[in-house]
Amino acid sequence: MEKRLVTYEDVQSNKEIKIYISQADKVLAAMGYTEHSFGHVKKTAELASSILATLGYSERQQELAKIAGYMHDIGNVINRVDHAQSGAVMAFRILDKMGMHPEEIAQVISAIGNHDESTAAEVNPIAAALILADKTDVRRSRVRHRKISGHDIHDRVNYAAVESKTYFFNDNKELILDLTIDTEISAVIDYFEIFLSRMILCRKAAAYLNLQFGLIINGQKMV
């Protein structure tokens, strides 16, 4: 197939990708995980792109980050275990069939294959931006079960996040995750129990991009 410029709009409108995102979220719903559907992947795509834009990366790099963000969780349709790697293989097949240039496919699938905290590595700027965008998506609307008494600790922490903002600070030298948590629903210590490994990963990803990563909870700087 003749190679061409595959855009974020092309990827978003691809029926096959839409099906995989939707079905992957159904798999995770059956397993009791928080929402990983279009709300999550679109938010991840936009923030990953925005991070690279703020840091002066090219428009094409920004778009590739969007594509990686949109497709990063499709591997969950196979299994939660190793979903980053299976998703990367799926993304290779799809993007190659769409005619994307191999040099660009390589960047996207490297990012997807290295985004999950169990095997994550900030192997390129797109991967680093994807890690930051994915791991900072903490919000109440991702919780599927609305009965607080039935929440496990993962659901409680997300449900307790009544406000979540990610922004640049200190002349764009620091990326901040700013959370307002309802401590009657979840104690701050619960957040660290669940997310400590993710926050360490965010610090490493930020450092790759020559950034500091900061965490603010209820107005207090934690990291």
Domains of the chain with bracketed CATH: 1-135 (1.10.3210.10), 138-223 (no CATH)
pLDDT band at 93 (very low <50, low <70, confident <90, very high): very high
Q: Which two tokens stand for residue 120?
A: 């994550």
Q: What is the mean pLDDT of residues 119-141?
A: 93
Model confidence at 136: pLDDT above 80:
yes
> 181 by DSSP, 3-state: which?
strand
User: Using one digit for the tens of pLDDT, what is the confidence trace for 139-184?
Assistant: 887 887 766 545 567 788 888 899 999 999 999 999 999 999 999 9
Reported as type and span, the H/E element at residue 6 is none
Q: Please answer whether residues 210 and 122 qualify as being in contact, where contact means their C-beta atoms are separated by less than 8 angstroms.
A: no
pTM of the complete model: 0.93
pLDDT at 2 over 90: no
What is the pLDDT, as a whole number, of residue 197? 87
Side chain identity, residue 132 = L
CA atoms of 84 and 17, how far apart (whole Å) = 15
Taking only the tens place, the pLDDT of each residue in 15-73 is 999 999 999 999 999 988 887 899 999 999 999 999 999 999 999 999 999 999 999 99
Q: In this predicted structure, what is the pLDDT of residue 146?
A: 61
**pLDDT given for residue 151 in this prediction:** 57
